[in-house]
Amino acid sequence: MSLISAASEVRENAYAPYSRFKVGAAIRGGSGAVYRGCNVENVAFPEGTCAEAGAIAAMVAAGETEIIEVCVIADSPAPVPPCGGCRQKLAEFGRHDVPVTLATVDGQQTTTTIGDLLPGRFDASHMDRA
């Protein structure tokens, strides 16, 4: 199954009663396995989690720590880019050149990279004097 199909499928399970905005994410780990996540909202709004965070959690729970490809899909007028926090989360596990496909349910698609989504990211080297 393609990454976009996996993201589209898991999006159906999103729990988004407050925003009514369902998001699906699928990531391919270094092994080739695909991990999925959807947004899970909460009545205490800041406690909600993004689709990307769910997919990353599934990957790490399965014992993998390298992302080689990402896809995010939503029903929006244009492909929705990951939020700032998710960009940092993706950068933790994926190299700069990892492709990130952003898609809409009506077939629009654009591809960027983890590096382009988060230039100048905070990484472990910034703590070298600690």
Catalytic center residues: 52
Residue 57 within binding range of ligand THU, rule CB under 6 A? no
74: Cβ contacts below 8 Å, ≥ 6 apart: 11, 21, 22, 23, 24, 80, 104, 105
The count of other CB atoms within 10 Å of the CB of residue 130 is 5
Is the Cβ of residue 52 or residue 64 nearer to ligand THU in the bound state? 52
* Identified binder of ligand THU from the candidate list 51, 70, 98, 100, rule CB under 6 A: 51
Residue 82 within binding range of ligand THU, rule CB under 6 A? yes
Question: What tokens appear for 23 in the block?
Answer: 């998001």
Binding site for ligand THU (CB under 6 A): 16, 19, 21, 23, 39, 41, 48, 50-52, 72, 80, 82-83, 86
